[in-house]
Amino acid sequence: MNLILLEPGDFIAPGTVQLQGRRFQHIAEIHRAEVGEALKVGLLNGQIGSGKVVARSDGEITLNVTLNREPPAPLPLTLILALPRPKMLKRTLQHATALGAKIIYLINAYRVEKSYWQSPWLAEDKLREQCVLGLEQAVDTRMPQIELRKRFKPFVEDELPAIAAGSRRLVAHPVTDQPCPVDVGEQITLAVGPEGGFIPYEVEKLQEQGFESVHLGPRILRVETALPVLMSRLFPGQ
């Protein structure tokens, strides 16, 4: 936890917060912060700053906080991600959030198992939990927007044109001759398939909407590995 992420409900007075639970445990056991020490803090969807420990008990810690700088800029990216299997979903969301993705669509595809859509990890609070972990890791405060779409064709034909309007459109697809571009410097809509990739029909439907197929080389990577590689190539240094 490189950032103690605060929420409006934590404030007991202007500039003063009280924390319990997971954040208290982390501060007490990992930071081992005592009264007078300062920690890096940020307000959810707000600014970043510092929090000085002013009181501590067995289950609660009080900080005086000063918020004075903006979080990192969001990536100019809309991510279209075929729903991964639940265990991979957690890691993938953490990675995407830590790297600065702020608009994420989780969609269906032929190779997405139907059972994945029944996962308790798709509950709003569970998705939020993974995003919080990514924000804490990256010292960021802006919560991503996550949308679920269970029907591939209606999404691609009816919604995607407006979602991707004004952006360069890329679909990660290992069976293509075009490598993924580097440092694009423009708004990107990136579609990433499930394990095994999008089937040819799905790639064709995306191409009909202006998506270019790109690859990452001869190695076939897991989604949780491929996504950070794609994002770091498209937006190095961001």
Q: Convert the pLDDT of each residue in 81-138 to its tens digit.
A: 999 999 899 999 999 999 999 999 999 999 999 999 999 999 999 999 999 999 999 9
The per-residue pLDDT of the chain, averaged, comes to 95
Mean pLDDT of 16-41: 95
Q: Would you say residue 220 has pLDDT above 90?
A: no
Closest CA to 234 of 100, 97, 137: 100
SS3 5: strand
Superfamily of domain 4-69: Hypothetical PUA domain-like; domain 1 (2.40.240.20)
Give the Cα separation of 198 and 146 in Å (integer).
Answer: 21
Lowest mean pLDDT, pick from 13-27, 65-79, 207-221: 207-221
**CA distances from residue 26 to 20, 46, 120, 131 in whole angstroms, order as listed:** 10, 22, 26, 17
Q: Going edge to edge, which strands form the sheet with 168-172?
A: 145-149, 103-107, 77-82, 188-192, 168-172, 212-214
Q: Cβ(164)–Cβ(217) under 8 Å?
A: no
Q: How many CA atoms lie within 13 A of 81 on its CB side?
A: 30
Mean pLDDT of 161-179: 93
The label of the residue with tokens 């694009």 reads: 184
pLDDT score, position 217 = 86
Give the Cα separation of 53 and 145 in Å (integer).
Answer: 32
Tell me if 4-69 shares its fold with 77-234: no
Beta-bridge partners for 43? 6
Mean pLDDT of 19-25: 96
Domain boundaries, the chain: 4-69, 77-234
CATH topology classification for 77-234 = Alpha/beta knot (3.40.1280)
